[in-house]
Chains A and B, each alone.
Chain A
């Protein structure tokens, strides 16, 4: 076969044969811009529409909680008995037929529309009065009260994070790092405390102490840290056998130095995100306590106590309950979605926890 050279067809190389077949301009050494950890995180977060909306909502709520109570002339505890049970009325929107101070009342003769601000037959003295969210049974401005209540919910959110990060985290770190008998005792204690429903602990505590913001804070401090303790402990167990810990120990570092300076910085980000998840829970606990009458004392308002008060007349004046319920729902929803988004952005692997 190899001797039969005459039959080989003549063949000539063309310039095209030395080029790449299809992708003539395939960039072999194309350099892409480096993506840092943070730009990855931010782009992953921005892609998550729900989380971005939640973040905007939280910023809005915080802004309103700060300036809301000063936006109109009313105070949260100022009662104007003459102006009780007024429906919401907002300046510009009233010309469109919504929030014009009318409410539907069901009477024995059927539904009637009542407007306590403007009455064509007589002067009510309220023609130029505007209550954006209406007033309650004592004639207090619900707009101001709602956002005073929002402050309490946000304060509770802050408490939840601080309890998690100060107490729960340290407890879990120490327990996981020392291991052995220390770990056993500490985790048994946490287990027993965890075995008691939060509901029981909180209600009993509220009974022993005076109901109020201080007591609610204490109740959250007692019950709020157990989940974070577990997460922190699990993370330490993963890290404590690694070489950098051994290296630090070899160099003579003390236990607390290793725990808080060597191990903690590696897991702090994850722990902060996990602590976000305890916020909705804490806010819910406060609102729940307020609803069963163990919340902040009057005339202070929290969203829970506003809902509880408005519940008594919610079939006749449903507008009273709508604003606190909406704000509470928005807070819970936003924190949940923000926490979800942050977790996914920072560490997609954490989804399983």
Chain B
């Protein structure tokens, strides 16, 4: 097991380093410079380049950059808010995004589990059909469709929730974005729970547990759901991806001061450092979760661990 974890860790670190390198190279190739102001003279631009270390060779800047990233110093923003350190920018924005993302995952998982369980237990009834419809819609429609529909109906028409995010009413204004982001989670979790639960319910050990006279709740929750849950971990990765992309658009629609809207602004104003930092943070979160999922899966299901170790041994 240690060997397996170590190997996964190495691959993740290599990926992270590769990402840093790619990010850096791509930004090198980018047209324009942060000092596009026509009023700046040649020598002023040179001075600015010198000040920010942009006149150093590429490899040197890359090593410097990695060094800084490791120590958590992401540098300063060039254009969005001049000379503010990105760490400060993130400090106020990251919690907002994480909070809404977390709420969405939590809400989505709970509702998804409930729907999936209901559909499996009441197989081929109206509940089952309803769950299928919800999961097909949730997987197919992008989160901004839900965001727009919700903000028009519940926000604009009946005024239940604010149209735009308000810092002072954070709870109330995070309701609509949370629901829009949660739809994909609901759909995916419901779909998987239903399929897995149906399979588990038809298995021999469930028949045995039932014939031993266990109470129904114990039968379903302990013997059924626990086993059905294992494969659901695999859908975590697509969920994270959908939350990331979703957050960009949903944050724009509700003008939430999170990192998604920061990335959009940074892209539109060519703010190198902010883009690289955010891309790095998104990638790091993604890699971290993939690593977590792989290791967790190995712990829960020994078959996977052994199979994978066998694969790497070859």
State whether A329 and B148 are in contact (beta carbons under 8 Å apart), knowing that A191-B15, A196-B22, A208-B29 are contacts in the complex: no
Q: How far is the CB of A116 from chain B (nearest CB, A)?
A: 21
The answer to whether A203 and B249 touch across the interface, beta carbons within 8 angstroms, is no
Cα A238 to Cα B249 in complex, Å, equals 41
Task: Indicate if B252 sits at the interface (CB-CB under 8 A).
Answer: yes
B137, CB-defined interface residue at 8 Å = yes
Q: Does B54 contact A (CB under 8 A)?
A: no
Q: Tell me which of B152, B156, B248 contacts A292 (CB under 8 A).
A: B248
The answer to whether the Cβ of A333 comes within 8 Å of any Cβ in the partner chain is yes
CA distance A321 to B148 in the complex (A): 9
Distance, CA A284 to CA B141, complexed state (A):
9
Asked if B253 lies at the interface with its beta carbon under 8 angstroms from chain A, I say yes
Quick check: is A77 within 8 A (CB to CB) of the other chain?
A: no
Tell me whether A333 and B18 are in contact (CB under 8 A).
no
A266 near B: Cβ within 8 Å? no
Any A CB within 8 A of the CB of B47: no
* Known contacts A203-B263, A204-B23, A207-B30, A195 near B286 by CB under 8 Å: yes
How many Å from the CB of A42 to the closest CB on chain B?
A: 23
Kindly list chain B residues whose C-beta atoms are within 8 Å of the C-beta of A311: 148, 253
Q: In the bound complex, how far is the Cα of B269 from the Cα of A293, in angstroms?
A: 12
Check A64 for interface membership: any CB of B closer than 8 A. Answer: no
Report which of B12, B30, B163 forms a contact with A195, defined as CB distance below 8 A.
B12
Q: Which residue of A lies closest to B252 (CB)?
A: A292
- Write the A184-201 contact mask toward B (1 if CB under 8 angstroms, else 0): 000010011001111110
Is B279 on the interface with A (CB-CB < 8 A)? yes
Q: How far is the CB of A328 from chain B (nearest CB, A)?
A: 7
Size category of the B interface is: 35 or more
Given A195-B287, A199-B245, A200-B282, also A287-B142 (CB < 8 A):
yes
The contact string, 1 if C-beta is below 8 Å from chain B, for chain A 243-258, is: 0000000000000000
Q: How long is the Cα–Cα vector from A325 to B253 in the complex, in angstroms?
A: 15
Is B290 part of the binding interface, using a Cβ–Cβ cutoff of 8 Å? yes
Interface residues of B in 107-148 (CB under 8 A from A): 136-137, 139-142, 144-145, 148
Q: Using Cβ atoms and an 8 Å threshold, which residues of chain B touch A314?
A: 148, 152
B184 to chain A, nearest CB (A): 11
Known: A192-B14, A292-B267. A204 touches B279 (CB 8 A): yes
Interface check A52, CB cutoff 8 A: no
- Residues of chain B lying within 8 A (CB to CB) of residue A208: 26, 29-31
- Which residues of A are at the interface with B, using a C-beta cutoff of 8 A? 50, 180, 188, 191-192, 195-200, 203-205, 207-208, 280, 284, 287-288, 291-294, 307, 311, 314-315, 318, 321, 325, 328-329, 332-333, 336-337
5 inter-chain pairs at a CB distance below 8 angstroms, sorted by A residue, are: A50-B136, A291-B249, A307-B148, A325-B148, A336-B140
